[in-house]
Amino acid sequence: MSQTGLFVGGEWLQRAAEFSVYNPATGEEIATVVDANADDVSAAIDAAHQAFPAWSSTTAHHRSAILYRAWQLMLERKADLAQLMSLEQGKPLRAAANEVQYGADFLLWFAEEAKRNYGETIPSARADQRFIVQHQAVGVVAAITPWNYPVSMITRKLAPALAAGCTVVLKPAEATPLCAIEIFKILQEAGIPDGVINLVTAADPKPVGEAFCTNPRVRKLTFTGSTPVGKLLAQTAAPQMKRVSMELGGHAPFIVFDDADPVHAAKGAALVKFLNTGQACICPNRIFVHRKSLEAFTETLSARIAKLRVGSGLEEGVAIGPLVSEAALAKVEAQVNDATDKGAQLVCGGQRPASPELSSGYFYTPTVLTGVTEDMLIYRQETFGPVAPIIAFDDDDDVIGMANDTTYGLAAYVYTQNLSRAMRSFEALNFGIIGINDINPTSAAAPFGGMKESGLGREGAREGMMEYLETKLGGFSI
């Protein structure tokens, strides 16, 4: 399987320099893609800049029709895209298919939202004056997407940018370029004009990120990834006052109050904690359980995850796929070892699988820890792996304080049957997304994003398209 990965000005281009793509379940090479250089990145930005005047001048209905066609094509190829995602990223097939559906949802939502880019008139204090407000495309957008959701994170950025009338240069994660290539083929087939979308793959993301931040023709940078990298990109983009939106790390609390059904809450925790093998920024990282419910919750959670089969995402019945790399696996091991060394109890898991057939992949057994305290690494650091750390609490105010005791602010979860407590928790938790008895508070129609060091801006919903629009005021004297 040999691909290109360099799509500039409507053409797929070959280069001598390439890098390899590996299956994280086996460590085997599955493809090679172009390793773009500085000239390639510059050419892609130039192509987007040249295409912008014509594309931004098209009607919203025209852009909507193209996005709608892309949605249709993506659903037609759902099974193939899921298969590729499992091969390249390791995600179990069922979860991969769900992601493709989620990614397609953004194409449909913004196909519709493109036609709702409304302006307004504002009354003036002067009889001879009229104010008119329009929202116009910001310009060339540079987008950087992650490996953990290699399809939906692309459409979540490209769909609103294209709906708004922007042109785009995308750099996908170096671990998962093949999914990006297939999405670009779909968009090209749907009728996106030459130069409107451009793809650059690279083994080293740093030079591409620097080019995106320093090239004056790029007017907007959108990034999903780690908080340290997001901070660096924002700092580098600041001298040109580029618009930036950042969806960064998370450290989600999961709170189970004493009135909640601990069995029901544990079932929810098992589903969301081990989503994508724990490699999701909204996965719970600190599970706070009222001491009264601790035993029942822990027993249910442990029993459920003991049934999760670990293996290649391409195999039937597998729920826990590989981590993305050896470094990711080492980080998870280090956090678990640190916790147990400092007194945490290992309820289940806590090691690499013993099966010889899994020895060449980056696998870790789903793990439950109890007795977790604030001096442990796992209490402070995002894990991005299949480990559930449980912390007991006694007081409502204390647990809200513990939940907020982090520099992150992306997602949080609350289980309670008390409406007043639910509302108080919703208002008191400093997180951008809060699920109340709900482990999936996300949708293409809902704004996604975090507070504090979890990011800037929102994706999805009507806010998602506003990130790619400038507000222009006209004052008319008549």
d(CA 46, CA 95): 37
Is the pLDDT score of 414 beyond 60?
yes
Q: What is residue 2's predicted lDDT score, i.e. its pLDDT?
A: 53
Query: Which residues does residue 459 pair with via DSSP β-bridges, in sequence order?
Result: 448
Confidence of residue 463 (pLDDT cuts 50, 70, 90): very high
What is the fold, at CATH topology level, of the domain defined by 252-436? Aldehyde Dehydrogenase; Chain A, domain 2 (3.40.309)
Q: What are phi and psi of 110, to 5 degrees?
A: -80, -15
Q: What percent of the chain has pLDDT over 90?
A: 99
Mean pLDDT for the chain overall: 97
Question: Which stretch of DSSP H or E encloses residue 475?
Answer: strand 469-477
Chain centroid, CA 333 distance in Å:
24
pTM higher than 0.85 = yes
Tens digits of residue pLDDT in 280-294: 999 999 999 999 999
Where are the domains positioned within the chain?
A: 6-248+452-477, 252-436
Tens digits of residue pLDDT in 210-229: 999 999 999 999 999 999 99
d(CA 346, CA 336): 9
Structure token digits, residue 456: 């800037």
Active-site amino acid positions:
247, 281
Is the pLDDT score of 236 beyond 80?
yes
Q: What is the mean pLDDT of residues 157-172?
A: 98
* CATH number, span 6-248+452-477: 3.40.605.10
Q: What is the mean pLDDT of residues 135-154?
A: 98
b/e 389-404 (16+ beta carbons within 10 angstroms → b): bbbbbeebeebbebbe
Is the pLDDT score of 149 beyond 60?
yes
Is the pLDDT score of 331 beyond 60?
yes
Q: Please give the full DSSP string across 277-317, using - where no structure is assigned.
A: GG-STTSEEEEEEEGGGHHHHHHHHHHHHHTPPBS-TTSTT
